[in-house]
Amino acid sequence: MSVAKTLFFTAPKQVEVRETRLPDLKTDEILVETICSAISAGTEMLVYRGQFPHLHDSQDGLSSDLEYPLAYGYACVGKVRETGKQVDKSWLGKTVFSFQPHTSSFIAHPSSLISIPDSLSPENACFLPNMETAVNLVQDGAPILGERVLVLGQGVVGLLTASLLLEFPLENLTVVDGIELRRNAIQAEGNLLNLSKGQKSKVENFDPKDLQPSTFDLSFELTGSPAALNTAIEHTAFSGRIVIGSWYGQKRAEVDLGGSFHRSRIRLISSQVSTISPELSGRWDKRRRFEVAWQALERIQPQKWITHRFSLDDSAKAYQLLDENPQETVQVVFEY
């Protein structure tokens, strides 16, 4: 019987690494040894801080009935070490992705594993959930030729979303984040893309206070801060769209729907990756969206945005860093 090291959130701002015994491998199961897993700073910090809501039907299965102690996470990449007797032996040795908590090894059914293309490193593959989210956000926003687009928030989801938007022939793309490290990350990416691939869009970065009101046709609110929705409303033009990709958890803020909003015909679009927009669901399914996400990862190679690597034994330091000094980080990963 194998033993795994697994990260547990045990109380607000407390984590523990516990040894857990894996059950015997069933004939239709696979044993995976984890190579790396990525921290989703937005969602996991809600769990770390105890700010998550208690959802009983969250659609994605990962966010339902959250209670301490909790093993949580959803970006594991590992190598198949053992297969059950009924599993095709071609799985052995494959590098795979799975929506698993942070753990050194795990047992899964083949249907819950995704084979990683040989062209991607394990660390690039760790970005799959956030890239799928970014694809979903862009599909929900449906940018139009020549539009002015704003992305509020340059955490990993914001960076990936902006990277995809750079591939569109927009009039301009403006990214906003209060953290200079994150603003500069996409600026460098934009310059590189423009030089190497002939991109038609240009990217400009701003501190929030420097934005002009009623400027943008399409805005994405990806900061994780409810107060930023007012910023999006203020800076979106008449009949524009605001795609809200942040999960606020239990955080609350007043939203200004008075003033000019009532006459603005601005559309607020709720976007979450666990489902596909009804307008697309007749042609799109999650398999097709995953294929698009893999191709985007190959083009963008987001591994360059990993700023910190920790062992699982140092997980408390990783979350303390994200909680107290987020301005020093972009993507944090665990190495096993």
**55 confidence band (pLDDT: 50, 70, 90):** very low
Average pLDDT along the chain: 90
Q: With respect to residue 36, please indicate whether it lies within any of the assigned structural domains.
A: yes
142 token code pair = 């449906």
pLDDT at 206: 65
The reply to whether 13 and 109 lie within a common domain is: yes
Do 138 and 265 have their domain in common? yes
pLDDT of residue 207: 66
Question: Is 14 among the domain residues?
Answer: yes
Residue 284 domain flag: no
**Domain of 239: which CATH number?**
3.40.50.720
pLDDT digits (tens, 9 = 90+) for 212-237: 888 999 999 999 999 999 999 999 99
54 pLDDT more than 70: no
Predicted pLDDT at 140: 97
**Pair 132, 66: CB distance under 8 Å:** no
Angle at 179 between CA 175 and CA 184, to 5 degrees: 55
**Which are the contacts of 52, defined by CB distance < 8 A and separation ≥ 6?**
46, 63, 66, 249, 250
Please tell me whether residues 103 and 14 are part of one structural domain.
Answer: yes
Indicate whether 106 and 141 sit together in one domain.
no
Whether 69 is in a domain gets the answer: yes
Does 127 reside within a domain?
Answer: no
255 and 326 inside one domain: no
Mean pLDDT of 39-62: 73
pLDDT at 253: 80
Where in the sequence is the domain holding 311, given as residue range(s)? 3-116+301-335
Segment 72-92 mean pLDDT: 97
Domain shared by 182 and 87, yes or no:
no
Count Cβ atoms below 10 Å from residue 215 Cβ, excluding itself.
16
What pLDDT score does 111 carry? 96
Among 52-56, 63-67, 80-84, the range scoring the smallest mean pLDDT is: 52-56
**Number of structural domains the chain divides into:** 2
Taking a C-beta distance cutoff of 8 angstroms, is the pair 48, 72 a contact? no
On whether residue 251 sits in a domain, the answer given is yes
Give domain status of residue 281, yes or no: no
Among residues 199, 178, 179, which one has the least CA distance to residue 189?
A: 199
Instruction: Give every CB contact of residue 69 below 8 A, 6+ residues apart in sequence.
Output: 8, 9, 10, 16
